[in-house]
Amino acid sequence: MSEPIRVLVTGAAGQIAYSLLYSIGNGSIFGKDQPIILVLLDITPMMGVLEGVLMELQDCALPLLRDVIATDKEDVAFKDLDVAVLVGSMPRREGMERKDLLKANVKIFKIQGAALDKYAKKSVKVIVVGNPANTNCLTAAKSAPSIPKENFSCLTRLDHNRAKSQIALKLGVSADDVKNVIIWGNHSSTQYPDVCHAKVKLHGKEVGVYEALKDDSWLKGEFITSVQQRGAAVIKARKLSSAMSAAKAIGDHIRDIWFGTPEGEFVSMGVISDGNSYGVPDDLLYSFPVVIKNKAWKFVEGLPINDFSREKMDLTAKELTEEKETAFEFLSSA
C-alpha cells in the first residue's frame, strides 16, 4: 500500500459532492491500492448536513478511507493537500447578472487560492468545478503564486462526455467507440464542441466522425447547441443541476491527470493558455485538447482549424477575455 494522499472536496454537503465522494473513497479514481485522507469543506450553515455525509462515508466501511475530516475552516481543509477539488461556488440566482456572479465568486476563489498557497503542498493538483469554472480557476491560480499555474485545471470533461455521447447515440455505438472530440473555450453556452478531429469505431475500423455521419447540417447545428445547452435541459427536466454526470466527469478528469491519457487519445480540459496555441490569447483559462503523462498535461499541437471552427473558438475566447477583465477588476479591489 502507498502512503495516503490528502484529497479535499469543497461544497462537500452539495449534490455533486454527494455523487462524487463514494467514487473517491472506493478506489475507482486514484486506484485500488491508494489510501486516502478525505477532507470535506463547506460553509458553517451546512455543517449539520456535512455531518450526515461524514456518517454515510463511515458507514460505507471503505477500506481505502484512512480518515474523513469535515470542517468549515480553511487552515484545516487546505493543509498538506495532494489534490483539491473545488466544487463549491456561488450559484447563479434568478435575476442575477453574470457580473454579480463573477463578483461573488472572485471573493470565494481568491480566499481559496490564498489558502492553497499558504497551506497545501506545492505539487497539489487543483480541479475547479464551481461555475463560472474557467474564470474561478484563473482567480484561484492568480491567488496562489507559489503553486505552478499548470497545476490548475477546470472541468470541461462533462461537455466532452456529452459530445461523445451525442455522437454515439446518433451512430448507435458505445460512447467508448468515440474518441478525440474537443471542447474549446469556456464552460458556458459559447463553448465549441468540435468533432472535426474525432474518430469513431464502426464495423471494426476507425473513421472520422464527419465521414461516418454524413450529416454536416446536424454536426454544425443541432449537435453544437444540444451540447452547449445540455446543462440547462437537465435543470429544466430534473429541477436540479447535473450531479451524477458531473461527478462522473470529475472522476474521469482526475483519473487522467493521475494515470495519463490512453495512447492516441486526447481529452478536453480547461488549462492556462500560453499565447502560442491555436490563436488563443495568452493567460486565459481556456479548454483545449490535451494529452497527459506523468501527471503533466501538454497541448495537442498542429490540428488544422477550418474557418467555421476559428469563428467559434474566437467567440468563446472573447467571452473569456471579458470575464477575466471583470473578475480582475474585482480581484484588485477585493
Residues belonging to the binding site are: 42, 92, 98, 105, 129-131, 162
252 exposed, middle or buried (CB, 10 Å; 0-12, 13-18, 19+)?
Answer: middle
Q: How many CB atoms are closer than 10 A to CB 173?
A: 16
DSSP for 208-242, written as a single string = EHHHHH--HHHHHTHHHHHHHTHHHHHHHHHSS--
**Residue 88: closest CA among 6, 12, 7, 187:** 12
Distance CA(126)–CA(86), nearest Å, equals 7
Whole-angstrom Cα distance, residue 294 to residue 258?
A: 8
Contact 102, 135 (CB under 8 A): yes
Q: Which of 187, 197, 203, 253 is catalytic?
A: 187
Provide DSSP, 132-201: SHHHHHHHHHHT-TTS-GGGEEE--HHHHHHHHHHHHHHHTS-GGGEE--EEEB-SSTT-EEE-TT-EEE
Question: Who's near 255: CB < 8 A, 6+ residues apart?
Answer: 28, 29, 30
Whether 197 is catalytic: no
Instruction: List, as residue ranges, the binding site for NAD(+).
Output: 42, 105, 129-131
Angle (deg, nearest 10), helices 157-171 and 230-238: 90
The dihedral of CA 111, 46, 127, 74: what is its sign?
positive
Q: Which segments are annotated as binding site for substrate?
A: 92, 98, 131, 162
Give the number of other CB atoms < 10 A from CB of residue 206.
13
Positions marked active-site = 187
